Structure 1
Amino acid sequence: MKQYTERLFVFGFVGTMFLIALLFFILPHQRFSELENRYLQATPQLTWENLLSKQYAEEVESFITDHFPFRDKWLWVKSTSEKYRLQQENNGIYQGKDGYLFEKFVEPDYTTVAQYTEAVNAFAGNHPKVAMTFLLAPTSIGLYPERLPWLAPSYPQWKVNEFIGEHMHNEITFMNGFDFLTPHAAEPIYYRTDHHWTTYGAYLAYVAYAEQQGWQPLSPQDFRIETVSQSFLGSYHTRSQFTNVTPDQIDAYIPRDAVTTEMYIADTDQTVTSLYDPSFLAKKDQYSYFLGGVHALMKLTTGLPPQQIEQEKLLIIKDSYAHNVIPFLTRHVPEIHVIDLRYYNGSIDAYLTEHDIKDVLFLFNTTTFVEDESLLKLK
């Protein structure tokens, strides 16, 4: 009987492995995961260079992990089991108070952070006649540490922001997001389930930048505030898969005196006439409602009346925190160029010179800045 049981276990194990391998090869492989809101690892390319550098082995491992059969279901099972174990962290996401999810933030490598900061300084030094502003926004864990689970470790983001600000050269105007967000901490500045700030948080950033530039910012009364979604479950929910999470609400600030903005997307060689893409509201990545998501290079042209024009051109070098801020800026600048360094591989110096741009806004959140080696492209 014992021998029969052992054989049953062996054949069951081998059969399960064979079935999983078979499913791995016959099931279609997705290019993009709606659940995780990211592109999955493509089929690795075997070359001598990749093989010797171990890149091929790493890509194979990522490919198998990303395309494991029924991966989405396994993520849900893992999250549910950990919930019943009363675990308040899953995949680097904490389940905090008041319905907030938070991404774990650890002490960064300050040597690396200094390198990224110096890349920004070098870029400014190459363009002494260009006015540059760097706006660094904390993420929700930076502003709401008191809402973390009991004893959950987290490194203070304000220390990182201060370090970056202290190492920025004087020719760059540094705007610390803590300065203009902290007075509004009791208000809904961040989504509970996503890593971005809400449209209201973006509005506060716009007001702070406008005042720093000497502009007169529009008041909330100048907009119709429309709720476009009440079902947004963002990136933190995607990664953690915590259950019984209350969805977020997405608002759009629509100016009462409408003007037309054309947005040219260089990636697709396409021009659209809206800053918003409602099609994303029916998808997992609802935040891409703003500007239609991430693009390497965009140019926004707005037909502003002459009396509303504060400056002729602006280059924004950014991460996705800028997406719901940019619509506000179109009310003051008729020509806005937008570059995402993670995807743009051209020369930023040449672009600035070619388009005769005299004002630059860097807009990043703290987590992206300390992890984004693409900033070295600025050197």
Structure 2
Amino acid sequence: MKRKFHIGMTLGFVVYIGGFFTLQLLGQDKTFSDLENRPLAGKPVWSKDKFFNGTYGKDVEKYIADQFPFRNQFIAIKSQSELMLQKKENNGVYIGEDDYFLQKFNVPDKQLMKKNIEYINRFAESFDVYFMLAPTATKIYAEKLPNFAMPYDEESFIEEVSGGLGQKVHKIDVLETMKAHKNEEIYYKTDHHWTTLGAYYGYEAFCKGYGIEPMPISAFERVIGSNSFYGSLFSKGNFTFAKPDTLELFIPKVEETLDVYYMGSDKHTDSLYEMSHLDKKDKYSVFLDNNHPIIQIKTGVKNGKKLAIVKDSYANALIPFLTNHFEEIHVLDLRFLNMPIAAYMRSNNLKDVLVLYNVQNFATVNQFSLLGK
């Protein structure tokens, strides 16, 4: 009897696995996961070299994991079961109070930090560098973290970086600004970015450091772009029980004249917003059409002022506030470039540059060597 039971269990397991394997072979591969907001692995190409160095096996594992039948349904079940078990962290994302998801900040690489500081200090010998290191919600809403959570302290990291930067670097303190406005909706709950309101306060901090008068918030019409925004932390943690965020656009009440040139795709537009993204999963890409290597913005302002911005995606929601102050804005994303930024600055007659990153991104950036000659 026991033997028949074991045989039955074995056959059932084989049929179960075989069924899924058959579905995977017959099913059409998906190229992108809306839930996780990332590309999915495609069918690996076999080669003798890849087979013997082990990369082919790893590619097969990624392919099977990404193309597994009913994958999203299993992710949803896993997420719900972890919530029932009161698990408070998944894939580097904490489940915080008041529906906040907060990204874990691991111990940063101090050697990388020192190298990046050195690159920025050298850059400041030739250009006027304004440096802004934006905290994330993990620091501003630290009291919402689970009791056991112990991320590396972002404020401590900001102090270390600030202490290493030379006197020629204009350091902009946005941490205290965000603390002062923490009772407002300055960060998304499902995404790692600051909201448009948070970006506005970052813009105010820049204006103070740069020595210009910011546009009052009353100069903008606050328009709801979407009430169904599920951001990067929702995707990373697979938290299917999350409540959506509201994404706002701040539209100037006085119409602007703009020419926005996306150099990599050779596209011109007259808007800083790509509204089609509001109908997609990654709605934050409405700001400057997501990330591009180089964006050149020409405004209707006639004051001769130019600004370069070396940045991550935190800058995307802040840049629209700057168009009232500069005749030209050059947006440079080092993640997609392989060219000397100093040479680009000189060839475009640029002197002033804002380096803007969020703390956790800055801790892992290894492209600052591009700032050189």
- Distance, in Å, in 2 between the alignment partners of 1:123 and 1:29 is 46
Specify which of 346, 355, 359 is matched with residue 362 of structure 1. 355
2:2 maps to a residue whose letter is K
SS at structure 2 position matched to 1:377: helix
Q: What pairs up with 1:229-378 in 2 under 5 angstroms?
A: 229-304=226-301, 306=302, 309=303, 312-378=305-371
1:374 maps to a residue whose letter is Q
SS at structure 2 position matched to 1:342: helix
Specify which of 203, 214, 223 is matched with residue 226 of structure 1. 223
Partner of 1:133: 130
Aligned 8 A contact 1:291 1:323 in 2: yes
Partner of 1:198: 195
Gaps of 5+ in 2: none
- CA offsets 1:235-289 (integer angstroms, 9 cap, x no match): 1112223344322111111111111212111222111121112211121111111
- Distance, in Å, in 1 between the alignment partners of 2:333 and 2:235 is 23
Q: Does 223-232 or 342-351 show the bigger shift?
A: 342-351
Q: Does 157-166 or 63-72 show the bigger shift?
A: 63-72
- Distance, in Å, in 2 between the alignment partners of 1:58 and 1:171 is 47
Partner of 2:139: 142
- Matched pairs, number: 372
| Cα RMSD, aligned residues only | 2.2
- Distance, in Å, in 2 between the alignment partners of 1:108 and 1:53 is 31
- CA offsets 1:40-65 (integer angstroms, 9 cap, x no match): 34555667886787655554443433
1:163 offset after TM fit, Å?
A: 0.7
- Distance, in Å, in 1 between the alignment partners of 2:146 and 2:68 is 32
Specify which of 168, 171, 177 is matched with residue 174 of structure 1. 171
SS at structure 2 position matched to 1:227: strand
Partner of 2:89: 89
SS at structure 2 position matched to 1:122: helix
Percent identity of paired positions between Structure 1 and Structure 2:
37
The answer to whether structure 1 residue 152 and structure 2 residue 152 are counterparts is: no
- Distance, in Å, in 1 between the alignment partners of 2:124 and 2:52 is 38
Q: 1:113 to 1:68 in 2, by over 3 A?
A: farther
Q: 1:377 to 1:98 in 2, by over 3 A?
A: same
1:34 offset after TM fit, Å?
A: 1.8
TM-score (norm 1): 0.91
Q: 1:116 to 1:99 in 2, by over 3 A?
A: same
TM-score (norm 2): 0.92
Q: 1:117 to 1:19 in 2, by over 3 A?
A: farther
Q: 1:50 to 1:115 in 2, by over 3 A?
A: farther
